[in-house]
């Protein structure tokens, strides 16, 4: 299990994934994370503060993006550094289909100590929702 | 009113320990739809070399976000939380959070900047375990949108 440093190079692509998010997903994430900001579950409130709809928690999107890395490496503890910028919200309509976040990633740099930097691309509707989304990963 | 830059460097007292439970980790992993067995199966976690199940990489936010309430609700700082959005988030891990951890967070204000009329507050949370060892550092920026942006 795991990825060997010698098997990767700059440009190596991680398996891309898509993640569906519905209102029910957001309610569940709110409960599990303790982030009960009403912009994530109360449409009336979200519209009042100028948002297009209820929006997904930025931290939910960050968590999904990380799965592209952790599913690739197996042991999640190999992530030694992970950061994102929240550049655009993901609106989540009140229907069963919800919204889909697409995440891809590739090795952007080979670092010391058999570590690599992975750059992630997370989009909704073809537009980037995370900026500077980077993870430093310890490989074997 | 812009935030007072003299708050830069202010450090708050460590929080009371947060005890990380297996079922809380499972609940969080299910909420993000992540079936990695390291989050739910102690034997799978042991196979990776961990003493118990570990938490997903963004789980520490559950603890550091709560701790950052000290800053957000500091009446002296006077942040208008109804205007705040999460700008960016970074974690630097010494090791993963795991079941059985009793974690404290020491929160400090790392930066206060004004960008295009918005206040940007950078809050650092240093997470340590019961023996005082570093587990993870969270750095987040909160952007308080300027009042005159209303109705744009």
For chain A, the straight-line distance linking the first and the last C-alpha, in angstroms and rounded, comes to: 10
The predicted-structure confidence for A32-41, as pLDDT tens digits, reads as follows: 999 999 999 9
Inform me whether the C-beta atom of residue A46 falls under 8 Å from chain B C-beta atoms.
no
Residue B141 in domain: yes
- The verdict on a CB contact (< 8 Å) between A82 and B56 is no
Question: Which one-letter DSSP state was computed for residue B20?
Answer: P
Residues 29-88 of B with CB under 8 A from A: 30-34, 36, 38-39, 48-50, 54, 56-58, 61-62, 65-66, 82, 85-88
Residue A31 pLDDT exceeds 60 = yes
DSSP chain A: ----GGG--TTPEEEEEEEEE-HHHHHHHHHHHT---GGGT-HHHHHHTT-SS-B--HHHHHHHHHHHHHHHHS-GGGEEEEEEEE-S--B--SSSS-EEEEEEEEEEEE-STTEEEEEEEEEETTEE-EEEEEEEEE--
Strand partners, B141: B88, B122
pLDDT of B117 reads 85
| Rounded distance between C-alpha atoms, residue A116 and residue A100, angstroms | 28
CA distance to A88, B60, B71, B87, per residue, from B118 (Å): 17, 27, 17, 11
Inform me whether the C-beta atom of residue B1 falls under 8 Å from chain A C-beta atoms.
no
The share of chain A scoring above pLDDT 70, in percent, equals 99
Residue B1 in domain: no
pTM more than 0.90: yes
Alpha-carbon gap: B50 to the closest alpha carbon of chain A (Å): 9
The predicted-structure confidence for A64-110, as pLDDT tens digits, reads as follows: 999 999 999 999 999 999 999 999 999 999 999 999 999 999 999 99
- The verdict on a CB contact (< 8 Å) between A29 and B32 is yes
Does the model's ipTM exceed the 0.95 cut? yes
Look up the domain containing B71 and give its range.
Answer: 8-149
pLDDT of B151 reads 43
pLDDT of B152 reads 40
Work out how many domains chain B is built from and give that number. 1
- Which of A46, A63, A132 would best serve as a mutation to test chain B binding (most B beta carbons within 10 A)? A63
Chain-wide mean pLDDT for chain A? 97
CATH of the domain at B129: 3.10.129.10
pLDDT along chain B (152 residues), means of 10: 89 97 98 98 98 98 94 90 89 98 98 90 97 98 74 42
pLDDT of A106 reads 98
Alpha-carbon gap: A63 to the closest alpha carbon of chain B (Å): 6
The pLDDT of A110-123, averaged and rounded, is: 98
Residues 99-138 of A with CB under 8 A from B: 132
Residue B2 in domain: no
Burial of A123 (0-12, 13-18, 19+ CB in 10 A): middle
The pLDDT of A125-135, averaged and rounded, is: 97
Q: Which domains can be identified in chain A, with CATH numbers? A: 5-21+56-138 (3.10.129.10)
pLDDT of A65 reads 98
- Nearest to B127, CA basis, from B55, B49, B40: B55
């Amino acid at each position: 299990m795991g990825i060997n440093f010698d098997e990767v190079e700059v440009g190596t692509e991680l398996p891309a994934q898509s993640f569906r998010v519905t209102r029910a997903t957001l309610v569940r994430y709110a409960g599990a994370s303790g982030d009960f900001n009403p912009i994530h579950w109360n449409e009336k409130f979200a519209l009042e503060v100028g948002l297009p709809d209820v929006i997904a928690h930025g931290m939910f999107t960050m968590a999904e993006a990380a799965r592209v890395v952790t599913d690739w490496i197996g042991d999640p503890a190999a992530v030694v550094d992970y950061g994102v910028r929240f550049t655009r919200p993901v609106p989540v309509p009140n229907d069963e289909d919800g919204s889909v976040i697409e995440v891809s990633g590739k090795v952007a740099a080979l670092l010391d100590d058999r570590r690599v930097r992975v750059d992630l691309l997370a989009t909704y509707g073809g537009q980037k929702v995370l900026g500077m989304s980077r993870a430093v990963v310890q490989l074997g | 009113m812009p935030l007072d830059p003299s708050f830069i460097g202010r450090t708050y007292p460590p929080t009371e320990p947060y005890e990380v439970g297996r079922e809380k980790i499972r609940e969080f992993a299910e909420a993000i739809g992540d079936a990695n067995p390291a989050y739910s199966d102690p034997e799978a976690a042991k196979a990776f070399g961990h003493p118990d199940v570990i938490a997903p990489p963004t789980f520490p936010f559950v603890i550091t976000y709560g701790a950052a309430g000290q800053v957000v609700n500091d009446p002296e700082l006077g942040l208008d939380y109804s205007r705040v959005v999460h700008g960016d988030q970074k974690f630097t891990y010494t090791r993963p959070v795991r079941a059985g951890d009793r974690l404290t967070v020491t929160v400090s204000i790392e930066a206060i900047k004004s960008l295009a009329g918005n206040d940007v507050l950078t809050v650092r949370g240093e997470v340590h375990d019961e023996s005082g060892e570093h587990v993870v550092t969270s750095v987040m920026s909160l952007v308080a949108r300027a009042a005159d942006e209303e109705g744009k």
